[in-house]
Structure 1
Amino acid sequence: MNAILKSETDQVLHQNPGLGGRLRIERERRGLPLERVAAQLHLGADMVSALEADDYDKLPGAVFVKGYVRNYARLLGIPAEPLLAELSERCPDEECSKFVTGNVRQEVRSSHVLMRLITAAIVLGLIALLGLWWWNYVKAPEQTEASAPTGQVVAPTDVAETPVSTAPAPTPPAQAVPSAAVVGSESRSAVTEKPLAAPAPAVTASVPTGSREATPSVPIEAVEPAPPSGKVVIEFIKPCWVDIRGADDSFKMFGEFRKGRKELGGHGPYKFIIGKTSAVRLSVNGKPYSILRHSSGNVARFELDPMKVNLN
């Protein structure tokens, strides 16, 4: 009984095979295996089988099915228009539009999920990079402040000897000896006033005792004391970084300094680099010296010779 029903069904299908049935019959007539057709159409074998069986539930939207039918007919060498017309009859425009919209939305939704994941990953990466950069930017000044010395002042002691030249006196009188001692004391006071200068020893002229009465006394020329060098004082109102160097590296002062005053040693001219002009005051010989004239962007770079500066 089942065999009879199957044969009758096959006859009906053969007489009116439908869209997919005509494609299958034409393929079998040409002796083309299903896998080869699927490979040439760039489809899976299950999709080709569903197309030949008119099982559209396993296929994507009607727009894609029309493309498959057109390509399948072109591969078999048969006209595609009758097949597309039959497909349109089976699927009216309203149903096809609903069917296509549903499938397209599903595909777009899946791609949107992937794009959203990629976009979220990129955004998170950018946020992480921005946070790392900001952390390094904020941390760098703190590390610099912690590692920077609070201030180093290097003042090498220059031992400046002030020789006292005395004219040779072969027969000076006995009264000339005290005057030489007075000259020695005057020279010592002049040298003491000069910064970082060692006191010069007193020089006493030798007096031969044998010819004191025979020759007249020759006065010893007194050496005038050298004028004192200019006094430069820097006062820190706020923490500030400076780099100050005296001539011939006679004085060095660099680093960040807190509030306070410091008198410069060595000798000029001095080279100044002041990191923040508003945080520093400078005075030369007790008179204020304006550093704003050398300021550029709140940083001052200039050279100062306290012996030549005129503050009047």
Structure 2
Amino acid sequence: MPGKIGKKRKKLDEEIAESKDLTVGRMLKGARENLKLSLEAISTELHIEPRFLQALEEDNLEVFSAPVFTKGYLRQYGKRLGLRESDLLVQYYRQAKDNEFSMVPLASQSIRVGGRARSIEGWKLALGVLFLFVIIGFVIWSFYLPQESDQVVISSVSGEVGRSAFAVGNFELLSVLETKSFDG
């Protein structure tokens, strides 16, 4: 098998030397077809989604969120096909310079959660609302907590002043501080 890849590499090297218009996608697709491999087989082997491999072959590099992902997939795919990394990257940089690929900002991308796409902005909003509810709940809870200043002083009913009842939680504690009568 290594001899077969070596011969195909020489053939591809000759094509690269002959044609300056050869793109990264054509290089990858040509090498894959020469090896008679399907996108699905390579996708399974490399653990890269078929849509990314297809995007590389079609020179649709805008699909990738950042150049680092593009170059990583390009290196991995090229290595599997027996292509020289340097040839692929030189051609990639030529194409990137010529086309000025626009990269999608991360904030507008979506995340897949449970089979559905969710916006990153939506998650930020949901977390903000949840945080706000937690703060409001804490403030309300703190107002209903019994505090030391909430002690109730009950005056004596029998005409004597100075008896105090302090409510502590659900229990009442009676204490007599001093006894004075109204008679003087």
State the TM-score, normalized to the length of structure 2.
0.59
Corresponding residue SS for 1:92: helix
The answer for the alignment partner of 1:90 in structure 2 is 95
Cα shift at 1:73: 1.3
Deviation track 1:77-124 (CA, whole Å, cap 9, x = no partner) reads: 32211111111111129935xx23x4345349x535423421331331
The answer for the alignment partner of 1:282 in structure 2 is 179
* Counterpart code for 2:68: V
Answer yes or no: is the 8 Å Cα contact 2:26–2:57 preserved in 1: yes
Cα shift at 1:20: 0.9
Cα shift at 1:151: 6.8
Deviation track 1:280-310 (CA, whole Å, cap 9, x = no partner) reads: x4359x99xxxxxxxxxxxxxxxxxxxxxxx
Answer yes or no: is the 8 Å Cα contact 2:43–2:49 preserved in 1: yes
Cα shift at 1:34: 0.6
Cα shift at 1:152: 8.7
**In the superposition, relative to structure 1, how do residues 89 and 29 fare at CA in structure 2: closer, same or farther (>3 Å)?**
same
Answer yes or no: is the 8 Å Cα contact 1:51–1:59 preserved in 2: no
The answer for the alignment partner of 2:175 in structure 1 is 273
**In the superposition, relative to structure 1, how do residues 123 and 63 fare at CA in structure 2: closer, same or farther (>3 Å)?**
same
CA distance in 1, matches of 2:24, 2:95: 10
Corresponding residue SS for 1:273: strand
Same amino acid, percent of matched pairs = 19
* Counterpart code for 1:126: I
Cα shift at 1:49: 1.3
CA distance in 1, matches of 2:26, 2:165: 92
Deviation track 1:222-254 (CA, whole Å, cap 9, x = no partner) reads: xxxxxxxxxxx9523xx8317xxxxxxxxxxxx
Corresponding residue SS for 2:100: helix
**In the superposition, relative to structure 1, how do residues 64 and 32 fare at CA in structure 2: closer, same or farther (>3 Å)?**
same
The answer for the alignment partner of 1:241 in structure 2 is 165
The answer for the alignment partner of 2:108 in structure 1 is 106
Structure 1 unaligned spans of 5+? 1-11, 154-232, 243-254, 257-271, 288-312
CA distance in 2, matches of 1:66, 1:89: 13
**In the superposition, relative to structure 1, how do residues 283 and 135 fare at CA in structure 2: closer, same or farther (>3 Å)?**
closer
1:26 equivalent to 2:31? Answer yes
The answer for the alignment partner of 1:128 in structure 2 is 137
CA distance in 2, matches of 1:41, 1:103: 26
Total equivalences in the alignment: 149
State the TM-score, normalized to the length of structure 1.
0.38
1:65 equivalent to 2:80? Answer no
Answer yes or no: is the 8 Å Cα contact 2:55–2:61 preserved in 1: yes
2:81 to 76, 80, 102: 76
Structure 2 unaligned spans of 5+? 1-14, 111-118, 167-171
**In the superposition, relative to structure 1, how do residues 42 and 119 fare at CA in structure 2: closer, same or farther (>3 Å)?**
farther
Corresponding residue SS for 2:134: helix
Deviation track 1:143-187 (CA, whole Å, cap 9, x = no partner) reads: x96xxx98799xxxxxxxxxxxxxxxxxxxxxxxxxxxxxxxxxx
CA distance in 2, matches of 1:130, 1:84: 58
Higher helix share goes to which structure? 2
The answer for the alignment partner of 1:194 in structure 2 is none
* Counterpart code for 1:241: A
Corresponding residue SS for 1:241: strand
